[in-house]
Chain A
Amino acid sequence: MSNIRIMRHAFLVGIRDFQMFWTWRTWTFGWLARILTSAAIWVLMGRLTGSPQQLDYLLIGNAAVAGVGTFAIAAAVWDRWDGVYSLLIASPASLAPTTIGRMAIWIFHWLGSSAATFAMLILAFGWRPPLHGLLLAPVGVVLLSISTFCLSVFLGALAGAVPALRNILINLLTTAIIAFCGVSVPVSFWPSPVQWIAAALPCTHGVAAIRLMMADGSATAILSELGQEIAVAAFWLVLALLAIDRMAERGRRDGSIEFG
């Protein structure tokens, strides 16, 4: 209960972070314009291939993960920038609820980005996915966003300990999602070791589930993919929870936790 209370307060800090980056105008006309431009490029590439199946493949994948993975890892080190990291460590509470609470706002950023991309593809590019698939897709998007968030928390813990890694980790995450998780390139395209890694990464099963939803896949197959996405989320969340306080302990040992 007390951790939820802490997360609620930390989430407010996250909202303020978000407001520092975006107003509704800059989010709509800046961020969304960028995301939608990317989506438009995928549409054009899909049309150039001349294959409706490939076009659908690109649209579903890229709309599902639009914006996913951005900002959250960066948010993990903002406690250091604000000079509160040492105070949080020296408080009686675990660092986990504060870190998770502050980062969580970006899940909503991802969900909004994905929803807007689906909407634009339908409204502006005449894409007509099956209605039942479209109604079910948010479940997959929510799950893949949550699992990406869990991995982001883990990577954020690493970035919190070694802030110089922050940008590298952000780029690794977003590149891995786009390249290996079945967003634009089928997972089966990659060699087996890469496929194994992809199976443990967020988005892979979520995107696969959304594709099945859009293609009248069996309920069993859809639930299986969603279940695997949940398992991936749980795996990274456990690692994240273990990592957050361990990274703080590492900082106590190496002297990297400063006042202010």
Chain B
Amino acid sequence: MPAVETRDLGRVYAGGVRALEGLSLSIERGEVRGLLGPNGAGKTTLVRILSTILLPSEGQAFVLGHDVVRDTAAVRAAIGIVFGGDKGLYPKLTARQTLDYWAALYRVPIEQTRRKVPALLDRVGLATRADDRVETYSRGMKQRLHLARGLIGDAKVLFLDEPTIGMDPIAARDFRALIGELRGEGRTILLTTHDMAEAEAVCDRVALIDHGRLLAVETPESLSRLVSQHERIDFEGDDQIVQAVQDLPGVVAVKPVLPTGFRVEVADADIVHSVLALLVEQGVTSVNTSRPSLEEVYVHVVGDRGLKV
């Protein structure tokens, strides 16, 4: 049984705005799944449905086999939600009071709470500030407290909605390390993010969605291969060489790149050899081939529907 499963999931808001359409997704237990998409793609709508705070208009969604519409209580007991930004915490409470409160809400026995709260605070590096008010925390500290709050009920499935948004790079790196630890504990994580590096760093697989539809589900590496036919060759040369390259069959484009070079995009990986041979023949000595980053894949898949995904 997958940890999370959706079948033809759809959501239409008032005014007929369709946020999700026919979205079918399966996330295995223990998997860290990234959810990438531009603003308005439907990422947060999907997480809201899975978190039981939004009802789907059509289709079904299950968390650990429990229907999010009919078995709401079972779903709620199994999930933890963490979202980014300053909201979602009581600013006037201390971190310890915050976790005590959420432990009560998740029906964690009092004895267990007494052990668990200090342990969680220690784990997220807030033990020394446990009795300070949340309003005095930095963004990164608040985010770590968010994560501790999401874990207080021993969630088997965690929904992280852009959890590192607004965090400085060091804090974000530490937070990702925590996510890595959670994966090691066998928890299932669904992470929505705009940050490609984050998705590449922590996700087992990445789902790309746009306009409420699922475009692709791949490992970060596989997604990169999706556009390998758009493999690129960077070189430094003059206009005559550029013209010669452009005349080669299979070359899609030759674009100038700063400061003095050019980038060749080819329609097929096999063309790379022809381009390289021509550049060597023309006496070009500065040549570099590279694979696309996940960010470029994202732009290609979301922005160029010509790709077959």
Contacts and interface: CB of A to CB of B under 8 A. Distances in A.
Interface of A: 2, 5-6, 8-10, 12-13, 16-17, 19-20, 82-84, 86-93, 98, 251-255, 257-260
Interface residues of B, number: 39
Contacts of A8: 104
B92 A19 contact: yes
Contact of B14 (A2, A254, A260): A254
Nearest to A16: B92
B77 interface: yes
Given A13-B101, A260-B85, 5 more contacts: A2-B107, A88-B105, A252-B54, A259-B81, A260-B84
Closest 5 CB pairs of A and B: A83-B87, A16-B92, A260-B87, A9-B101, A91-B105
Interface in B53-104: 53-55, 73, 76-77, 79, 81, 83-93, 97, 100-102, 104
B164 interface: no
A231 B220 CA distance: 63
A84 B83 contact: no
B53 A90 contact: yes
Contacts of A90: 51-53, 76, 79, 81
Contacts of A91: 76, 102, 105-106, 153
Query: Which of A10, A82, A87 has the most chain B CB within a 10 Å cutoff?
Result: A87
B107 A92 contact: yes
A252 B51 CA distance: 11
A12 B104 contact: no
A93 B14 CA distance: 28
A249 B85 CA distance: 25
Contacts of B89: 82-84
Contact of B87 (A16, A82, A254): A82
B193 interface: no
Contacts of B102: 91
Contacts, number: 102
A89 B81 CA distance: 11
Nearest to B13: A255
A93 B108 CA distance: 11
Given A89-B53, A90-B79, A92-B77, A259 B48 contact: yes
B101 A10 contact: yes
A257 B48 contact: yes
B105 A92 contact: yes
Nearest to B48: A259
A255 B149 CA distance: 24
A90 B48 CA distance: 9
Contacts of B14: 254-255
B97 A92 contact: no
Contacts of B53: 86, 89-90, 251-252, 257, 259
B44 interface: yes
Contacts of B92: 13, 16-17, 19-20
A84 B88 contact: yes
Interface in B2-58: 11, 13-14, 44, 47-48, 51-55
A259 to B, nearest CB: 5
Contact of A6 (B54, B73, B97, B105): B105
Contacts of B76: 90-92
Nearest to B55: A252
15 contacts: A6-B105, A9-B97, A13-B101, A19-B92, A82-B89, A86-B81, A88-B105, A91-B153, A92-B76, A92-B105, A253-B55, A255-B11, A257-B53, A259-B44, A259-B81
A98 B105 CA distance: 9
A113 B86 CA distance: 35
Interface centre among B85, B87, B93, B102 (most CB of A within 10 A): B87
B110 interface: yes
A6 B104 contact: yes
Contacts of B107: 2, 92-93
Residue of A16, A20, A98 ringed by the most chain B CB atoms within 10 A: A16
A84 B73 contact: no
A16 B88 contact: no
A90 B161 CA distance: 14
Contacts of B11: 255
